[in-house]
């Protein structure tokens, strides 16, 4: 099977301001998740809309920011630059470069799709009859990569 090819990064360095960068990322998110929702396991995906911040859905913030405090998450450039990668990962779940496993989190099933070569992870929440893209992130620490490796082996 050939390599899964991703769209180009939305390079932060291409924008004059952080606000311009965020708006560009949101335009890609909107195109991929609002205007034409992806299909996962033969089911059209939903979206966690609330709470909205600055008119943008909660899922967008989980795919572009980091932090445990929902009110004070900070921009994560690595996540944001890869905003265009989420939809191709969803649509290519069975590709040999993507490792897939399910874990329980607070009583709910969370499906992890990890493009191992690119260190990009997308997490999908399984709901009753539908799926929600929950978050996505780039692995930039080797110890976290090793932790995910163990989780994948344990749960596959």
Neighbours of 123 (CB within 10 A): 19
| Counted domains in the chain | 1
pLDDT digits (tens, 9 = 90+) for 18-63: 999 999 999 999 999 999 989 999 998 999 888 888 899 999 999 9
pLDDT of residue 70: 79
Q: Is residue 3 part of a domain?
A: no
Terminus-to-terminus CA distance in the chain, angstroms?
A: 21
What is the pTM (predicted TM-score) of this model? Answer: 0.93
Q: Is residue 5 part of a domain?
A: no
- Dist CA 136 CA 124 (whole Å): 9
- Dist CA 146 CA 95 (whole Å): 21
- Greatest mean pLDDT range, 2-6, 48-52, 106-110, 112-116: 112-116
Q: Is residue 7 part of a domain?
A: no
**Residue 1 pLDDT > 80, yes or no?**
no
pLDDT digits (tens, 9 = 90+) for 64-80: 999 888 788 999 999 99
Query: Residue 131's Cα: distance from chain center in Å?
Result: 13
Neighbours of 130 (CB within 10 A): 13
pLDDT of residue 118: 95
Residue 33 domain boundaries: 12-155
């Amino acid at each position: 099977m050939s390599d899964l090819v991703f769209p180009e990064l939305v390079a932060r360095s291409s924008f004059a301001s952080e606000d311009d960068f965020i708006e560009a990322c949101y335009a890609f998110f909107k195109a991929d998740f609002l205007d034409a929702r992806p299909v996962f396991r033969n089911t059209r995906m939903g979206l966690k809309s609330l709470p909205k911040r600055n008119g943008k859905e909660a899922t967008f913030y989980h795919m572009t920011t980091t932090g445990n405090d929902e009110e004070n998450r900070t921009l994560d450039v690595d996540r944001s630059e890869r905003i265009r990668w989420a939809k191709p990962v969803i649509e290519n779940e069975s590709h040999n470069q993507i490792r897939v496993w399910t874990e329980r989190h607070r009583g709910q099933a969370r499906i992890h799709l990890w493009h191992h070569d690119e260190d990009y992870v997308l997490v999908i929440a399984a709901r009753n009859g539908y799926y929600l893209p929950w978050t996505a992130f780039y692995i930039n620490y080797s110890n976290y990569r090793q932790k995910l490796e163990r989780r994948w082996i344990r749960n596959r």
